[in-house]
Amino acid sequence: MSAADRILAAVQAIGPGQVRSYAQVAAAAGLPGRARQVARVLAGSEGRLPWHRVVRADGRIAFAPGSAQAAEQAAALQAEGVVVVNGRVGRAWRPAPALDAWLWQQPDRPPI
């Protein structure tokens, strides 16, 4: 199983309403510290993949603010009940440092 396959599997494993950071996906794929490789794989992936559930470590959507892709991802997340404010998941007032840990702990969906 290639690294790319493990990354794809890790993304598939993210359930509806859940959100993970690139680094978390990399770690889950057995590739700690290789968040950028996750980004590469997603950029080149074609099929149905819950790519919209992967965001940056600070909760921001990775695509450029205002871009069509950023809008698409935000819409897909909100359709699953994830709160997205100003291109960022979760409560806007949640401190970035606590967010990463928070992403791990959400078995279902974030509190409003």
Q: For binding to DNA (CB under 7 A), which residues are involved?
A: 3-4, 21-23, 33-40, 42-43, 45, 51-52, 54, 56-58, 62-63, 73, 95-96, 100
Q: Looking at residue 81, what DSSP letter applies?
A: T
Whole-angstrom Cα Rg for the chain: 13
* Nearer residue to DNA within complex by CB, 67 or 108: 67
Q: Are 63 and 69 in contact (CB under 8 A)?
A: yes
Q: How far apart are the first and last CA of the chain?
A: 39
Shortest Cβ 95–DNA spacing (Å) = 5
- Kind and range of the H or E run holding 2: none
* CB 37 to DNA: min, Å: 5
Q: How far is the CB of 42 from DNA (least distance, A)?
A: 4
